[in-house]
Structure 1
């Protein structure tokens, strides 16, 4: 699991961490029973405070995606595939809304967006 944060983003860092870890869990990249990186380790890797990572992890606990085990850390729970799929689809929908807003502000046409999406899609293969 790779987490990258941006201090230039309007999204709070704890939320960036939560979203990325959540996506890794829902996509199956991080399997049920696996432990997440320790609070201190992830904080050190990202150069953020332990409090920031703690808030992100506690939000994941509140969502029912992980739980805290004494001596083990934060452990990923089993997520029903239908719920995971719906959550990932909702993330795509949210991201598309953001793209539409940004494209309109940049005065890009729908054709421009389709072309850019095709180019981006091809690069990731």
Structure 2
């Protein structure tokens, strides 16, 4: 599993780890039931605190991406990936609705909002 940490990111390290593991799971790179690296191993590999990896794994477990078995480790949850994707879409929709509401109340046009979204998304088509 290839996880890249950016010290210049405005996101906390645990969030960067969780986001990347989510992407790996959703892409199918990791299958349901497959073991994740131990928290200690991942912390050592990334040269970060075990507390940071514990927070990332806790968030992943809370969101239903992984299951942790005491004494055995953490594994990709057997949950339906389409359900997880749908949940992520719902979350994105909530944030976008807040952005639309803010734009409307600030007299920002739909076109300006689309331009911002494309820039934030990295220039890719939304």
Distance (Å, rounded) in 1 between the aligned partners of 2:92 and 2:9 = 19
- Corresponding residue of 2:17: 17
| TM-score with structure 1 setting the length | 0.68
Structure 1 residues 90 and 21 mapped into 2: Cα distance closer, same or farther (>3 Å)? farther
Q: Which runs of 5+ in 2 are unaligned?
A: 94-122
- Corresponding residue of 2:33: 33
Alignment of 1:7-86 (within 5 A): 7-86=7-86
The runs of 4+ residues in structure 1 deviating greater than 6 Å are: 90-93
CA contact (8 A) 1:66 1:75 kept: yes
Q: Secondary structure at the match of 2:23?
A: helix
Structure 1 residues 57 and 30 mapped into 2: Cα distance closer, same or farther (>3 Å)? same
Q: Secondary structure at the match of 1:68?
A: strand
Q: Secondary structure at the match of 1:6?
A: coil
Distance (Å, rounded) in 2 between the aligned partners of 1:63 and 1:88 = 10
Q: Which runs of 5+ in 1 are unaligned?
A: 94-119
CA contact (8 A) 1:23 1:88 kept: no
| TM-score with structure 2 setting the length | 0.68
CA contact (8 A) 1:17 1:56 kept: yes
Structure showing greater relative contact order (alpha-carbon pairs closer than 8 Å, 6 or more residues apart): 1
Structure 1 residues 77 and 16 mapped into 2: Cα distance closer, same or farther (>3 Å)? same
- Corresponding residue of 1:106: none
Shift of 1:82: 2.1
